[in-house]
Structure 1
Amino acid sequence: MIYTVTFNPSVDYIVQVDDFVPGKINRVKNNYKYPGGKGINVSRVLNNLRVESKALGFIGGFTGNFIKDSLEKDGVYTDFIKVQGDTRINVKLKSNEETEINGVGPDIDDKALDELLKMLKKLGSEDYLVLAGNVQNTLPSDIYAQIQEKLVNNKARVIVDTTGEALTATLKHKPFLIKPNNHELSEIFGVEINTREEIIFYAKRLLDMGAENVIISMAGEGALLVCEEGVYHSAAPKGKVKNSVGAGDSLIGGFLANYCKSLDLIEAFRWGVASGSATAFSLDLCTKDEAERLLAEVKVIKLV
């Protein structure tokens, strides 16, 4: 089973406005509400690709109930922990430019955190655990690494998608997969990265630091898979970008949807790139049909 953990879920309120003007009354053309958060996005993509997962994490209030009800209505299994306060609302304003206003989530106390850890201790070697997104400021920045440490004997494959020190702290526990983008890679090492060769050099350093597999997403330049077998590149399929939210989560969802069945890193990488691109070309997360249509365009080339 694939489990996703989202510490700070959200209701993503997407608003489309023609020619948005700050300081004036603007009329909404279209609006949509989706359950959001990186781990939840991965579970939604897996569900769209007909692969089961269970969404874990913390929810509160009427917004938390919306997330749980929406996911379960669509067929996603959930086992959220209720906390005090309301799950946050993130506003995504789409007009001539795309603007995001992200809310603040509720605090997670020690009791709730212990409850999550008890759930995760039941995972075994056949399971996958996705730890995705940023965590609340009230929690330790290395909370993902702390979770890994408690699961080291379970041998579940752990996928980490976060940034900065929260990511690098997990490397000593050898995560199965990490997925920084090229900008986050620059931030990790405190350097300016301008070329593909530089990206490969620093991605290999992440392998040396403990990661088993590294995918570097590079927006319109496609993505790189750096692993023990070598370095692989896939160009991005062609299409009109409509949505930048959730493309990276879709890459992970597409990767896992294939890998849990095939155990083939390269084919899983192809599915990840197709799924991430399909989401970028849609207003919501990709469907199975959309990902499959793009799959034929995804060509993986071994560079090293």
Structure 2
Amino acid sequence: MIYTVTFNPSLDYIVKLPTLALGSVNRTEAEELYPGGKGINVSIVLRNLGVESTALGFTAGFTGNEICRLLDRCGCRTDFIQVPEGFSRINVKIQAEQESEINGQGPNLTTENLQNLFQKLDQLLDGDLLVLAGSIPNTLPSNIYERILQQLEGRNIRVVVDATGELLRNVLKYHPFLIKPNNHELGDLFGQSLRTDQEIIFYAQKLQQMGARNVLISMAGDGAILVDEGGTIHKSLPPKGKVVNSVGAGDSMVAGFLAGYLSSHNYETAFKTGLAAGSASAFQEWLASGDDIRKLLKTL
């Protein structure tokens, strides 16, 4: 089973209007409501590809209930910890002449809430796969990813980490199965501005030397590079298409990689499926369907 963790899920309220006038009443032309959060995105795209997962994390209040309802409508399994106070955050995405965002804070998480999560993680079985994605709320310890991998060490549970900075650096010693920085995040880890594929590959290999098994680097319009644990380098430009919304594209790439790997146990297949999934979501208003992904995969 695959498990995803989203520490601070959201309801993403997307509003479109021709112009935003501050200090005035604005009326939308269109609006959408989606469940949000990087781990949640991974679970949705996995489900779209026919792969089951369970979404873990924390929800609260009426917004938490709506997140669960929307995920159920998507066909996703959830096992969230219900926080008794507060409510899950609402992120407002304003699409006008310029795109603006107002992101909520979410509920305060306690030591007891965190203990409940660790109890759920204790129930993972040999061969399970855990996805840790995104930033963490300021109410949680900054080393929470590291603590989770420490607890799972030696249990044959493959862990995927999609995070940045010290969150990522500190887990490398636990040999995560997959990490997925983008090229800018990779450069930031080493204080470098990476301009060539050779530089990207060099520093991806450094992350392997630090402990990562597979390093998948997303590069937006330049495609992606995978340095797999066997030392093989996979590189490809993305499929052709018009980018509509890049939010969730990286999460879709992770989901596609996992779906491709689990179906084939082949890193080339995993890489191409990940690239197709990331691109398919970038070409949509929201996350791509399985048909969208499979259609693009045939072009790679």
Counterpart amino acid of residue 121 in structure 1: D
Whether the 8 Å CA contact 1:54–1:78 is kept in 2: the answer is yes
Task: Supply the distance in 1 between the matched residues of 2:32 and 2:114 (Cα, whole angstroms).
Answer: 31
Task: Supply the distance in 2 between the matched residues of 1:52 and 1:133 (Cα, whole angstroms).
Answer: 21
Q: Which residue of structure 2 lines up, in the alignment, with residue 159 of structure 1? A: 160
Task: Supply the distance in 2 between the matched residues of 1:94 and 1:195 (Cα, whole angstroms).
Answer: 33
1:179-200 residue CA offsets vs partner (Å, 9 max, x unmatched): 0001111221122222222111
The alignment status of 1:144 with 2:148, answered yes or no, reads: no
Task: Supply the distance in 2 between the matched residues of 1:289 and 1:276 (Cα, whole angstroms).
Answer: 13
How many residues in Structure 1 have an aligned counterpart in Structure 2?
298
- For 1:22-101, what aligned pairs fall within 5 Å after superposition? 22-83=22-83, 84-101=85-102
1:193-237 residue CA offsets vs partner (Å, 9 max, x unmatched): 222221111111111100000100000000000123321101011
TM-aligned CA deviation for residue 271 of structure 1:
0.6
Unaligned runs of 5+ in 2: none
Counterpart amino acid of residue 254 in structure 2: I
TM-aligned CA deviation for residue 138 of structure 1:
2.0
Whether the 8 Å CA contact 1:171–1:211 is kept in 2: the answer is yes
TM-aligned CA deviation for residue 107 of structure 1:
1.8
- Partner residue of 2:253 out of 251, 254, 276: 251
Task: Pick which of 77-86 and 25-34 moved more.
Answer: 25-34
Task: Supply the distance in 2 between the matched residues of 1:121 and 1:260 (Cα, whole angstroms).
Answer: 23
TM-aligned CA deviation for residue 88 of structure 1:
0.7
| Root mean square deviation, CA, Å | 1.2
TM-aligned CA deviation for residue 21 of structure 1:
4.1
1:82-116 residue CA offsets vs partner (Å, 9 max, x unmatched): 11211111112223332222211222111111111
Indicate the SS of the match to 1:275: helix
Q: Which residue of structure 2 lines up, in the alignment, with residue 242 of structure 1? A: 244
Whether the 8 Å CA contact 2:234–2:271 is kept in 1: the answer is no
Task: Supply the distance in 1 between the matched residues of 2:284 and 2:206 (Cα, whole angstroms).
Answer: 34
Q: Which residue of structure 2 lines up, in the alignment, with residue 15 of structure 1? A: 15
Whether the 8 Å CA contact 1:90–1:102 is kept in 2: the answer is yes
Task: Pick which of 68-77 and 248-257 moved more.
Answer: 68-77
Task: Supply the distance in 2 between the matched residues of 1:88 and 1:287 (Cα, whole angstroms).
Answer: 26
Counterpart amino acid of residue 64 in structure 1: G
Task: Supply the distance in 1 between the matched residues of 2:186 and 2:99 (Cα, whole angstroms).
Answer: 24
Unaligned runs of 5+ in 1: 299-304
Indicate the SS of the match to 1:211: coil
Whether the 8 Å CA contact 2:11–2:91 is kept in 1: the answer is yes
TM-aligned CA deviation for residue 27 of structure 1:
2.4
Task: Supply the distance in 2 between the matched residues of 1:32 and 1:117 (Cα, whole angstroms).
Answer: 34
TM-aligned CA deviation for residue 242 of structure 1:
0.8
Task: Supply the distance in 2 between the matched residues of 1:187 and 1:103 (Cα, whole angstroms).
Answer: 27
Q: Which residue of structure 1 lines up, in the alignment, with residue 203 of structure 2? A: 202
Counterpart amino acid of residue 91 in structure 1: V
Task: Supply the distance in 2 between the matched residues of 1:160 and 1:225 (Cα, whole angstroms).
Answer: 15
